[in-house]
């Protein structure tokens, strides 16, 4: 049941997103569109309640409960960003909105971008770990919570990978190709930090 509900929540997320944006930009009903988009958090709330009830009713904790906690964590931390990303592109394509601003590619700006991305993924993993810990304490029996502890370990890997990626951009900032540099062969774009090894 939990696994099915996760799929339903994911499908529901995209249906609400598409419906909200269509109402907002195509049907020219911005308030109704925003109201539909605000229903998104209810999906995570329903999943959280059902997961808690399932455990309370004596279900043995397994990978499905761990997956539910991870899904909720990533939805909370990344859901708003996903909606904003799609909204900008939908508005540009169908409502004459400004084109999306591309992510920075080089130097300090790219480093900051990578740390911001890492922060969102780390927050998602921490939320998931918190929910998993709450489930472990609720169940109480270590023999029954092995799968939940395993999901906590997976979240630690997510945190570690994101820290490694962001740190690599700090130590080795991505350099602009020579063809993109100003004439004279040097990059004087100090506001981005491109072409500088110092990073921070």
The domain limits of the chain are: 2-176
Contact by Cβ (8 Å): 106, 192: yes
pLDDT tens digits for the chain (200 residues)?
A: 788 999 999 999 999 999 999 999 999 999 999 999 989 899 989 999 899 888 888 888 888 999 999 999 999 999 999 999 999 999 999 988 999 999 999 999 999 999 999 999 999 999 999 999 999 888 888 888 888 999 999 999 999 999 999 999 999 988 888 665 555 444 444 444 333 333 33
φ and ψ of 60, to 5 deg: -75, 125
- Indicate the Cα dihedral angle 83, 84, 88, 93, nearest 10°: 0
Closest to 192 in 3D by CA, of 116, 110, 115, 113: 110
């Amino acid at each position: 049941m939990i696994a099915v509900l996760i799929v339903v929540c994911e499908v529901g997320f995209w249906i609400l997103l598409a419906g909200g944006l269509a109402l907002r930009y195509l049907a020219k009903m911005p308030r109704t569109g925003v109201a539909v988009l605000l229903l998104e958090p209810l999906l995570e709330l329903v999943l959280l309640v059902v997961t808690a009830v399932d455990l309370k009713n004596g279900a043995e904790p397994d990978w499905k409960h761990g997956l539910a906690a991870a899904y909720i964590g990533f939805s909370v931390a990344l859901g708003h960003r996903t909606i904003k990303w799609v909204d900008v592109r939908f508005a540009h394509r169908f409502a004459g909105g400004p084109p999306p601003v591309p992510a920075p590619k080089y130097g300090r700006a790219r480093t900051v971008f990578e740390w911001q991305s890492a922060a969102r993924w780390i927050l998602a993993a921490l939320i998931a770990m918190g929910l998993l810990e709450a489930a472990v304490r609720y169940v109480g029996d270590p023999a029954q919570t092995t799968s939940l502890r395993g999901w906590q370990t997976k979240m630690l890997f997510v945190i570690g990978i994101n820290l490694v990626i962001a740190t690599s951009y700090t130590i080795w900032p991505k350099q602009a190709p020579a063809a993109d540099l100003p004439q004279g062969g040097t990059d004087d774009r100090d506001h981005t930090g491109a072409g500088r090894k110092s990073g921070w």
